[in-house]
Structure 1
Amino acid sequence: MTDRSLHLPVAAQPSVDSIVDLAKRGEEHGYEYAWLPETWGRDAPTVLTNIARETETIGLGPSIVNVYSRSPALLGQTAATLQEVSDGRFRMGIAPSGPAVIEGWHGADFDRPLRRTREYVDIIREVLSGETVNYDGDIFSLSGFRLRCDPPEEPVPVDAAGMGPKSVELAGRFADGWHAIIFTPDGLEERLEDLRRGMELGDRDPDDVRVTFSVTACALEDGERARELAREHMAFYVGAMGTYYRESLSRQGYEEEAHEIAAAWASGDREEALDCISDELLDATGAAGTPERAREELQKFAEIDGVDDIAVGFPRGATTEEIESTIDALAPDN
């Protein structure tokens, strides 16, 4: 049976407490994890610490933190600390992000993202072991680092996100899980083949690699409002967040639509960008509409063989009340 989790809102929320309240609501409804994206708002470790303090059973972790703005040793320390604070409920999610974020926001060179991710996985694990870290990689060389606290009693899984074939293969070969976002069922099936190839190359047991798929969802009695919010969310991601989402949609058979959305957004015509997103594309990549329709659309992703966890995400324009309504309507105990 596929688990159901929360992918907490990427858009700014009124306060840290309001984000914590959403996680608590998810815990009350039986959601498995509360995943927190880190973009341009509040930093993930601080918010996750607050969530850990205010919850008891729900798992938690970032989905994702990037592998450029913090050192791998620091992320190892962060993982150890959050595992302690959460009493063993933490799971680390990392990925390169993209040039728009890394170069534009953090002022770092977006170099060798796959190799960098691989070395982060290695180093974070070595830090979490509690042993002295002596690491000689292509990018990082560390000598003498060791935690000055006990390592976590419960091992911290280290997951990697990715959209392209090579990044997904890397997750299967080296990470404890893969985080996916914005895929059609067919597109996800294709990437799962890359994940399995990675597991074979790494001689991994498939049961040891957890697949988490975040689906943009909106379940409202006003179904048209829900679909409009989902449409605006996709237009923003394809048009404003660099090339990764556009390229991913293109690989999945929506090249013309992806380029039309991006072109309209770049020209400042937001309405045209929305018009480029057909109902077919909206339904193929998300679950939006009335509660009944959203539940039905979400189910097609949950039935894909190899997906362990469906994480319910939310359109960036949704109000707190609309997010709460969606959490309630799509809850595993509903």
Structure 2
Amino acid sequence: MRLGLNLGYMVGADDARGQLRLTKHAESLGYEVVWAAEAYGSDSPTVLAWLAAQTSTIAIGSGVMQIPARTPAMTAMTAASLDLLSEGRFRLGLGVSGPQVSEGWHGVRFDRPLARTREFVEIVRLALSRSPVAYEGRTYQLPLPDGPGKALKLTIAPHADRIPLYLAAVGPKNLELAGEIADGWLAVFFAPGYADEQLTQVDAGRATAGRDRAGFDVVATIPLVVGADARTCADPVRAYTALYVGGMGSRDKNFYNQLAVRMGYEEAAATIQDLYLSRRPRDAMAAVPYELIDSTSLLGPKERLAERLAEFAAAGVTTAALAPYGDSIEEKLAALTTAAEALELAGV
């Protein structure tokens, strides 16, 4: 199992400098990849280009580039540019986002997300192959059939022969799609005890494509909090968990809430959502079960981290993308060091 760094969103004035320090430190420790996210603030390609220019070996990954935010052709252009400039270090992570962001921010209807994703990926791969892009789908038609456009091909060549493509997936059907058409899965709230159910869906998709899971990268974003007591370490993760389970999406369509229900936390998920949507985020945080946080995080001293990393590896994770917590950048840097030591101790 490899280690990665997940920077999440750039949300504060100090984030840029801090994210660069974290990335350079992860690179010095031998971390495989750094991932950057986007929602409706900083975009991931700009952050990744900035990081790539100041590093030399660590891979850079979009976790994710939002499908409703860009055309497939623009996505291919960006991927090719980042891969060329980073000399083959780019990994393309894609996700459909959710209805509130897709329709409220990008003005794109959140309809037929599975079919849209499939068509989007097919066009991106066609463009990156530097073939003329002609495509006839239900969502995308290239060139448009009633105008002067013609099938064009990408004028630059990526550095890599094939840019690895990942899908962020939460629901069963999307997991199956990721297994079928992607090179890896970007997982969130990955719990080793629940992994078999999710990876069964991935494997079904792999079988549809005539492949097994060999070479398929299971990337789990895992909160990391180092300290003497695991229960105390869980507290900084409560805000993140409450936001996603309680407030990421509408009451009727929150994929993370639905995931928590499938994981066996139906009552807690309903309570967290009720509190969060009632604008009581602190109460929602308090309602998050410790067991949910612990099962999806790395909490505690180095020895416990080693045990948990071994559990994640045994459950099928091939890249542990760590999201370090701490009151300062120095604490986060130290956490990344401890995690690297823990992985060596685990021997996985």
| Superposition TM-score tier, normalisation by shorter sequence | over 0.9
Distance in 2 (alpha carbons) for counterparts of 1:113 and 1:173: 15
Letter in 2 for 1:323: K
Residues 318 and 76 of structure 1, relative CA distance in 2, 3 Å threshold = farther
Residues 246 and 94 of structure 1, relative CA distance in 2, 3 Å threshold = same
SS at match of 1:5: strand
- Displacement after TM superposition at 1:23 (Å): 1.1
Q: How does 1:17-166 map to 2 (within 5 A)?
A: 17-143=17-143, 144-166=151-173
- The runs of 5 or more residues in structure 2 that have no matched partner are 144-150
Q: Which residue of 1 aligns with 2:146?
A: none
Q: Which residue of 2 aligns with 1:275?
A: 286
Q: How does 1:1-334 map to 2 (within 5 A)?
A: 2-10=1-9, 12-13=11-12, 14-143=14-143, 144-220=151-227, 226-242=233-249, 243-304=254-315, 306-314=316-324, 319-331=328-340, 332=343
SS at match of 1:288: strand
Residues 72 and 221 of structure 1, relative CA distance in 2, 3 Å threshold = same
Letter in 2 for 1:310: A
- Displacement after TM superposition at 1:214 (Å): 1.1
- Whether the 8 Å contact between 2:10 and 2:16 is mirrored in structure 1 is no
Residues 149 and 281 of structure 1, relative CA distance in 2, 3 Å threshold = closer
Distance in 2 (alpha carbons) for counterparts of 1:217 and 1:79: 29
Distance in 2 (alpha carbons) for counterparts of 1:321 and 1:250: 36
- Whether the 8 Å contact between 2:9 and 2:42 is mirrored in structure 1 is no
Distance in 1 (alpha carbons) for counterparts of 2:301 and 2:130: 49
Distance in 2 (alpha carbons) for counterparts of 1:122 and 1:319: 42
Letter in 2 for 1:182: F
% identical equivalent positions: 37
Distance in 2 (alpha carbons) for counterparts of 1:73 and 1:79: 10
- Displacement after TM superposition at 1:223 (Å): 5.8
- Displacement after TM superposition at 1:191 (Å): 0.7
- Displacement after TM superposition at 1:147 (Å): 1.1
Structure number with the bigger relative contact order (C-alpha 8 A, sep ≥ 6) is 1
Distance in 2 (alpha carbons) for counterparts of 1:274 and 1:153: 43
- Whether the 8 Å contact between 1:130 and 1:151 is mirrored in structure 2 is no
Distance in 2 (alpha carbons) for counterparts of 1:159 and 1:235: 26
Distance in 2 (alpha carbons) for counterparts of 1:58 and 1:247: 34
Residues 210 and 223 of structure 1, relative CA distance in 2, 3 Å threshold = closer
Q: How many residue pairs align between the two structures? A: 331
Residues 50 and 312 of structure 1, relative CA distance in 2, 3 Å threshold = same
**What TM-score does the superposition give when structure 1 sets the normalisation length?**
0.92
SS at match of 1:54: coil
- Whether the 8 Å contact between 2:126 and 2:133 is mirrored in structure 1 is yes
Residues 264 and 319 of structure 1, relative CA distance in 2, 3 Å threshold = farther
Q: Once the two structures are superposed, what CA deviation does each residue of 1:95-150 show, in whole Å capped at 9, x if it has no partner?
A: 11111221233232111111111111111111111111111112111131211223
**What TM-score does the superposition give when structure 2 sets the normalisation length?**
0.89
Q: Which residue of 1 aligns with 2:148?
A: none
Deviates more, 1:30-39 or 1:223-232: 223-232
